[in-house]
């Protein structure tokens, strides 16, 4: 049976693991990232206290939705007067499931570049925007919103970290070339994978395992790290990742 290493956070990997099993693949789940709420500083508390005053609320991920709702104690009505922007389909579904009425999402692309193409965001003079995200996110979205004369604030609502692992089984699988592919959902997970395994003498073997990556940006990072075969999903979703895996297998 073919085996894929799933590096996604434990609370988000069940769907892709199920899809792998449906296609007769074995999912090897070793989360290379975990998330937790960020410390609530006075500045963040002030933003939360005035969140209903923003014209636009940008949710960068499902985690941004979940931790933001937690921070406002689930008081959805405080978000209903703003136009909520979801960067991806899963984020849009999380907002809708929470009861948010006004949501915009790119029809394709599911990244900051695609968000900036939305018609509603072309003229922002005098408008206030709040970007809700994890710590150390990209500056691209804020920079371009500011170029359109918007006032932009950040709410870094959660932080990512590398969970502790006993790498014995994973290193064995790599040494014995038992992994058919590695599923990579973000640049952080890829960095963490390389960092975690950096003390073992398996770098060349690791770099030769095909990577299935969520975006072109992650593909560029993987190439710069020296990975030899990189397959990029057509869309940023579990189904897109599985399609890329199966299609890449056929092509390669």
Residue pair 218/186 in contact by the 8 Å Cβ criterion: yes
Distance of CA 120 to the CA centre of its chain: 24
pLDDT score at 249: 58
CA 250 – CA 167 distance, rounded (Å): 30
Task: Please give the class, per CATH, of domain 36-160.
Answer: alpha beta
pTM: predicted TM-score of the whole model, two decimal places: 0.86
Q: At what angle do helices 62-71 and 89-98 cross, to 10 degrees?
A: 30
Please state, rounded to an integer, the average pLDDT across all residues of the chain.
94
3-state secondary structure of 85: strand
Neighbours of 2 (CB within 10 A): 14
In whole angstroms, what is the distance from residue 215 CA to residue 54 CA? 30
Average of per-residue pLDDT across 30-58: 96
Domain with CATH 3.40.50.10090 in the chain: 2-33+164-251, 36-160
The CA-based dihedral angle spanning residues 100, 103, 106, 109, taken in that order and rounded to the nearest 10 degrees? -20
pLDDT of residue 248: 80
Round to whole Å and give the CA distance between 249 and 252: 5
CA-to-CA distance for 191 and 181, rounded, in angstroms? 17
Choices 3.90.1720.10, 3.40.50.10090, 3.30.420.40, 3.40.50.150: CATH for 2-33+164-251: 3.40.50.10090
The pair of structure tokens assigned to 137 is: 């996110």
Run of H or E including 110: none
Over residues 92-104, mean pLDDT: 94
Mean pLDDT, residues 10-29: 95
pLDDT tens for 129-187 read 999 999 987 899 999 999 999 999 999 999 999 999 999 999 999 999 999 999 999 99
**C-alpha closest to that of 220 among 190, 252, 251, 176:** 190
For 83, list phi and psi in degrees, rounded to 5.
-90, 115
């Amino acid at each position: 049976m073919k085996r894929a290493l799933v590096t996604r956070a434990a609370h988000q990997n069940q769907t892709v693991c199920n899809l792998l099993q449906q296609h007769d693949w074995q999912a090897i789940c070793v989360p290379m990232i975990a998330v937790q709420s960020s410390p609530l500083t006075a500045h963040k508390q002030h933003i939360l206290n005035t969140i209903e005053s923003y014209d636009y609320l940008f949710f960068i991920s499902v985690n941004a939705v979940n931790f933001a709702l937690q921070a406002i104690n689930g008081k959805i009505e405080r978000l209903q007067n703003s136009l909520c922007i979801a960067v991806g389909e899963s984020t849009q579904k999380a907002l809708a499931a929470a009861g948010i009425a006004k949501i915009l999402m790119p029809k394709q692309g599911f990244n900051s570049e695609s968000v900036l193409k939305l018609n509603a965001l072309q003229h922002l003079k005098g408008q206030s925007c709040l970007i809700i995200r994890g710590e150390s996110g990209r500056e691209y979205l804020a920079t371009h919103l500011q170029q359109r004369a918007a006032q932009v604030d950040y709410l870094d609502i959660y932080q990512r970290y590398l969970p502790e692992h006993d790498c014995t089984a994973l290193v064995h699988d790599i040494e014995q070339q038992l992994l058919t592919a590695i599923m990579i959902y973000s640049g952080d997970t890829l960095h963490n994978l390389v960092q975690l395994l950096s003390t073992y003498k398996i770098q060349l073997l690791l770099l030769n395992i095909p990577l299935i990556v969520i975006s072109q940006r992650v593909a560029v990072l993987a190439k710069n790290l020296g990975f030899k075969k990189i397959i990029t999903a057509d869309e940023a979703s579990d189904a897109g990742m599985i399609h890329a895996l199966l299609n890449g297998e056929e092509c390669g």
